[in-house]
Each structure stands twice: as structure tokens, then as C-alpha cells.
Amino acid sequence: MNQIRTGAFISERRKAKGWTQSQLAEKLGITDKAVSKWETGRSMPDLSLFMPLCTLLDITLSELFAGECIAEEELKEKTDEVLMDVISNWLGHDKMEKVRFRESKKCDTVPQNVLEVENVSRLYENNSVLAVNNVSFQIPQGSFVGIMGASGSGKTTLLNLIATIDKPTNGAVRISGQNIVDMLDKAAAEFRRRHLGFVFQEYNLLETLTIYENIALALTIKEVSKESIRPMIQSLSEKLDISAILDKFPYEVSGGQRQRCACARAIVINPDIILADEPTGALDSHAARQLLDTFAMLCREYNATILMVTHDVMAASYCDRILFMKDGEIKAALNRKQESKQAFFADILKKIEWMEGEAGCI
């Protein structure tokens, strides 16, 4: 990306519209000085201004970064080039290192435990609530595990402890053999970016980037070579049924499509584990099923490991194993063997009924 070229392009497009620098500044709600700085190549617009600026000047984001109009037939090739350039500039990564993709993990015969939770507790001292109480379990690679429980049973707290967002009062959490409990904040943030994928209901995509750019951005963390990015995203988006919307912005697509994009972004970095907190919570039942099918496919075909919190029995019936939480404890577990989703659904209902009966509070 050449800042001076982008600046000259902004100036050219502004003049073509017949606006002064002040008029453009006013439309964007910024100072004249800022516009002047862009146009002379002394600074770039803030991320949040990219889209409004492009809309006003009738150009695409790629054209803004390229500093020129891009002909239709060159669009694909140029967009890749420009995107990589921008990403390298932002994040300072441009290493030609080959990424090890899912295929390499598929041949492992004995699944290793990706996640080991050992005697973990979390006490909220402000209200003396033991939100997670001496919980232990393991998740082998390639499995799709659900955590179920009523509201307030400690599901989100447990997931946050695994996500390195919160710290347990006691116990150990190991991800791929590494104890994440004692990590300092900076190391934890780096660990999250490299080893964990998130599909949270409120975990938004960047609104100023297209779906393609959102997925590609995640890849730069892994220092993926330029040549591998497009084929990787293309093959994955076909599987996730989002190929047709790659050039759209998040606000232009449905909730279900956004969640599948979040899945693409999560899986594309080849994380050790994908964590999902009520991922179907805001979706209609068709979109929810599609997302759950996507999760199941990621496990089957990419050997992904997924831990999903849900209170929805339909969502849980897609899992291989369910852990049932109540009052911060794991009270029961259920494995899906060869049975159908319908049979597993019925088993889950029975287990919930049993748990409620057990505590005498139906």
C-alpha cells in the first residue's frame, strides 16, 4: 500500500465530485486538516472511516488501498494483492511460512487430549458464589462436546476459564499440554489468537472489512503465505456455503451467514480448539441447524475439536458428548455412540429430567 498514491486518489475522486476538502470533511464529521493530511500522504483514514469514505467517493475498499480504479476483469487478482499488502502493513507480518493445515492431523490414530480441565473452581468473592465447583474433564482431539445446564449453572464462567478470559481460583486448565492458568495477560492474548477459535453470539466480525477480508485477517496471525490464502478461503467457504457472500460486508448478510463466517474465521487458523457460547442463541431454527451441521462437518472433515455451551436440546443433539452442569458442578455426562440424532435428543431429555428429579426441584 502506498499512502501517497492513496492520498492522491482520494484527492482526485473528491475533486471529481466537485467538493472542497472542507466539504468532504464535513460529510465525514472530521476536521479539514485530517483530509489534507490524507491527500498529501501524511496519514491514512481511521479504520472506521474506510467505508463511509469509499461510499462517498464511489470506490471500493480495494481501490482505496490500491490508489486507483480497478477494472472489473482485474478485480480478483488486484484485490488479493492489495489485501495482502494492507494486512502486512497493519500487522507487520509477511513471512512465507507454510501453515500446517488440518489434513496433517487427520492421520493421527490415537486422539490426544486437546483440553484437560483438572479440579477447576471459580469463586466470585464479591457475592461468595462458587460459579464453578471442582470441575474435571478432558476433550480428545476431533470431538464435538456440549456443555448443558440451566441459566446460572456456571457454563459461561467455565468457558471463560478455558478461553483464558478469566482465571480459576483453583485447578489447572491445559490446552495441548500447556497450562494456561498462570499466563500473564499479554501471553494469554497471544495464546488466544494463535490457539483458540471463537464463535460467540456477540463476537462480531469487523464491519469495515468484507467477509473475505475478515477471514484473511485471521490468517495473517499464522503467517500464511500470500499464495495459500485465497485457495484456502475458497475451499473452506464452499464447504460453509458462504462463497457467494465473500465480497459482502457483515451488515449485508444474515445472522446465520455471519455465524458461518465466524466459523470460517475460527477454523482457518487451525486452532487447537473452537469455543462456542450459545452460538445458535440468536438464530432461527433453519440457520441454527445449518450452523450445527457446519460444526459437525468441521469435526468430521477437518478433525476440529469443538466445545459448545448451549441450553438448547436440539443443538446439543449434534454433539458427540454432553456434560451436564448444575450449581457449578458437572453432575452427569452422556456419550453419543452409534445412535441417531433423534435418539440422542431423547436421551438428553431423559438425562435432564433425571437431573431435575435428583435435586428435587422440578
Per CB under 6 A, residues contacting ligand ADP are 124, 126-127, 129, 131, 149, 151-157
* Long-range contacts, 241-246 (Cβ 8 Å, 24+): 241/290, 242/211, 245/211, 246/210, 246/211, 246/212
CB of 219 to Mg ion, least distance (A): 30
- For residue 124, the partner it binds in Mg ion, ligand ADP, none, with Cβ less than 5 to 8 A by kind, is ligand ADP
Residue nearest to Mg ion (CB): 156
Cβ neighbours of residue 109 closer than 8 Å, sequence gap 6 or more: none
- For residue 49, the partner it binds in ligand ADP, Mg ion, none, with Cβ less than 5 to 8 A by kind, is none
253-287 in b/e burial notation, b at 16+ Cβ within 10 A?
A: beebbbbbbbbbbbbbbbbbbbbbbbbbbebeeeb
- Backbone CA torsion sign across 179, 151, 262, 207: negative
CA distance 268 to 199: 13
In this complex, which beta carbon is closest to ligand ADP, that of residue 62 or of residue 153?
Answer: 153
CB of 154 to Mg ion, least distance (A): 9
Residues 59-118 contacting Mg ion, CB under 5 A? none
Contact in structure between 43 and 88 (CB atoms under 8 Å): no
In this complex, which beta carbon is closest to ligand ADP, that of residue 47 or of residue 359?
Answer: 359
Residue 270: which H helix or E strand, with range?
Answer: none
- For residue 28, the partner it binds in Mg ion, ligand ADP, none, with Cβ less than 5 to 8 A by kind, is none
Q: Which stretch binds Mg ion (CB under 5 A): 2-10, 156-164, 204-212, 320-328?
A: 156-164
Residue 177 CA, chain-centre distance (Å), reads: 23
* Of the candidate residues 156, 210, 237, 317, the single one contacting Mg ion (CB under 5 A): 156
Q: What are the cell numbers at 145?
A: 462436546
In this complex, which beta carbon is closest to ligand ADP, that of residue 51 or of residue 188?
Answer: 188
- For residue 7, the partner it binds in ligand ADP, Mg ion, none, with Cβ less than 5 to 8 A by kind, is none
CA distance 36 to 270: 43
Does residue number 270 form part of the binding site for Mg ion (CB under 5 A)? no
Q: Helices 32-39 and 3-16 sit at what angle, rounded to 10 degrees?
A: 120
Residue in the block written with cell 478470559: 165
In this complex, which beta carbon is closest to ligand ADP, that of residue 153 or of residue 237?
Answer: 153
Q: If you ran DSSP here, which 8-state letter would residue 79 be given? A: H
In this complex, which beta carbon is closest to Mg ion, that of residue 117 or of residue 131?
Answer: 131
CB of 174 to ligand ADP, least distance (A): 21
Contact in structure between 119 and 172 (CB atoms under 8 Å): yes
CB of 313 to Mg ion, least distance (A): 16
CB of 328 to ligand ADP, least distance (A): 7
- For residue 281, the partner it binds in Mg ion, ligand ADP, none, with Cβ less than 5 to 8 A by kind, is none
CB of 69 to ligand ADP, least distance (A): 50
CB of 156 to Mg ion, least distance (A): 3
Does residue number 294 form part of the binding site for Mg ion (CB under 5 A)? no
CB of 155 to ligand ADP, least distance (A): 3
- For residue 41, the partner it binds in ligand ADP, Mg ion, none, with Cβ less than 5 to 8 A by kind, is none
In this complex, which beta carbon is closest to ligand ADP, that of residue 67 or of residue 154?
Answer: 154
In this complex, which beta carbon is closest to ligand ADP, that of residue 45 or of residue 328?
Answer: 328
CA distance 144 to 199: 14
Q: What angle do CA 85, 259, 238 make, to 5 degrees?
A: 65
Start-to-end CA distance of the chain, whole Å, equals 63
Residues near Mg ion (CB under 5 A): 156
